Amino acid sequence: MAKEFRLSVVTGDGTVFDDSVDYLNIPTPFGSVGVLAGHASMLCAVEPGVLRCTRNGETLRIRVGKGVANVEGRETTVLVAEGETLE
Amino acid sequence: MANLRAIRSRIKSVQNTQQITKSMKMVAAAKLRRTQSAFGTLRLFAQKSEEILKRVGTDGGDNPCLAAPKANNRVCYVLIVGNRGLCGTYNAALLRYVQELRREETRDAFLVTVGRWGRDMIPTAGIPIRKSFEISDTPSAQEAQTLCAYLRELYTAGEADEIVLVFQQFRSVLAQTPGKKTLLPLTPAEGGGDADVIFEPDRDVLLNTLVDLYLDNSVHAALLEARTGEHAARMTAMTAASDNTEELIGDLTLALNHARQAAITTEISEIVGGASALSGGH
């Protein structure tokens, strides 16, 4: 089993997502960035687009607005102006 | 008999008023709960964004919102009033407060109003209105962003060198006090940021994004606080109104009973009088 880390996606209207994931893919101004557990501390700008996260082989897509992602230890926080889970 | 009917119809109309005030109180209470919970969620966002801002550090950079104002000697008051009246002195006190601020201010001033109240009241305050916004009873992040984008534009275009949010600060359900909060210029916080962090793509881009998020968040928080206060004020006012109608109905019912009793007494004494007159005749 892949190592997991905690991901929370927060907007001004509430928390869109808060759970453990195996893999995270963030849309940024310079292309998409992949994050796995144990990633170095990173602060990264987020562009409006679709954020993907994978857990146990299942992929969840979240539409996000402009914001920042904070990768720190075993926790990643994505702060965005807007966010919505896509089916 | 006419008196009785008048009292009955009066009671009926007071009961109707009571129904209205009670339902308004209930609606205000429901809206209050909604804005309060939204306010709680927003606090989490504010806390997270402050943590990240600390890691980035706010010194340096060429962000126009952190830069000193292009002195043009104009201040912009963003007056956040309620959407409706019937909430005690909530709106009127705020208008008085902004007039006081204006008197103490040496610079030129103009207003940006938010909320539906006072279309004809606010212009009499003697401060020119630049633009009016309408915000729903439970302001969303989207609405805050629209307003904030406009305010940021005012500042960066040099239209105003200070942007002040004026709104009723929420102390408790029973108490709101008019207050102000400077939105722009931002005062850079202490601290140079965390050196061990990778910045992608670079610090300036991140700082700009964060500043935007922070400003949107500040506006959103002020809107929610103002609306929470408005709903609380309306709930209090409507509770008082419902209590008053209750009292009035009590008084009127008493008056009605008195009048009815008097009518009955008169009737009986008339019958008795008539009977005794008849029996006295025989």
Q: Domain of A20: which CATH number?
A: 2.60.15.10
Write the residue in B42, B200, B212 that is nearest to A33 by C-beta.
B200
B75 DSSP β-pair partners: B109, B162
Tally of structural domains, chain A: 1
Question: Percent helix, strand and coil across chain A, each rounded to 5?
Answer: 0, 70, 30
Q: Which of B196, B237, B93 is nearest to A43 (CA)?
A: B196
Q: Which residue of A has its CA nearest to B221?
A: A12
- Are residues A33 and B200 in contact, defined by beta-carbon separation less than 8 angstroms? yes
Which residues in chain B have their CB less than 8 angstroms from residue A79's CB? 45, 48-49, 52, 213
Predicted pLDDT of residue B124: 85
- Of chain A, the percentage scoring pLDDT greater than 70 comes to 98
The CATH number of the domain holding residue B58 is: 3.40.1380.10
Specify if B245 maps to a domain.
no
What whole-number distance in Å separates Cα of residue A47 and Cα of residue A72? 20
Specify if B48 maps to a domain.
yes
The pTM of this model reads: 0.84
Predicted pLDDT of residue B47: 84
Tally of structural domains, chain B: 1
What whole-number distance in Å separates Cα of residue B110 and Cα of residue B131? 9
Q: Is the reported ipTM for this assembly greater than 0.85?
A: no
Specify if B98 maps to a domain.
yes
Collapsed DSSP state (helix, strand, coil) of residue B79: strand
Contact B45 A82 (CB under 8 A): no
Catalytic annotation, residues of B: 87
Specify if B190 maps to a domain.
yes
Q: Which residue of A has its CA nearest to B38?
A: A13
Which single residue is written with the structure tokens 């805050």?
Answer: B144
Specify if B11 maps to a domain.
no
What whole-number distance in Å separates Cα of residue B282 and Cα of residue B271? 17
B57/chain A closest Cα distance in angstroms: 12
Write the residue in A12, A41, A45 that is nearest to B196 by C-beta.
A41
What whole-number distance in Å separates Cα of residue B26 and Cα of residue B11? 22
Predicted pLDDT of residue B200: 78
Residues 6+ apart with CB under 8 A from B247: none
A59/chain B closest Cα distance in angstroms: 24
pLDDT one-digit tens code per residue, A8-44 = 999 888 889 999 999 999 999 889 999 999 888 888 9
- Structural domain for A63, as ranges: 5-86
What whole-number distance in Å separates Cα of residue A51 and Cα of residue A24? 8
Please enumerate residues of A whose Cβ is less than 8 A from a Cβ of B: 10-15, 28-30, 33, 40-46, 66-68, 70, 77, 79, 81-82
Ranges under pLDDT 70 in chain B: 1-2, 59-61, 188-195, 281-282
Predicted pLDDT of residue B149: 93
Q: Which residue of B has its CA nearest to A16?
A: B41
Contact B209 A46 (CB under 8 A): yes
- Structural domain for B87, as ranges: 27-236
CB pairs under 8 A between A and B: 82
Contact B216 A81 (CB under 8 A): yes
What whole-number distance in Å separates Cα of residue A56 and Cα of residue A62? 17
Predicted pLDDT of residue B280: 75
Contact A41 B140 (CB under 8 A): no
Average pLDDT over residues A42-47: 91
A44/chain B closest Cα distance in angstroms: 5
Predicted pLDDT of residue B189: 65
Which single residue is written with the structure tokens 């209105």?
Answer: B129
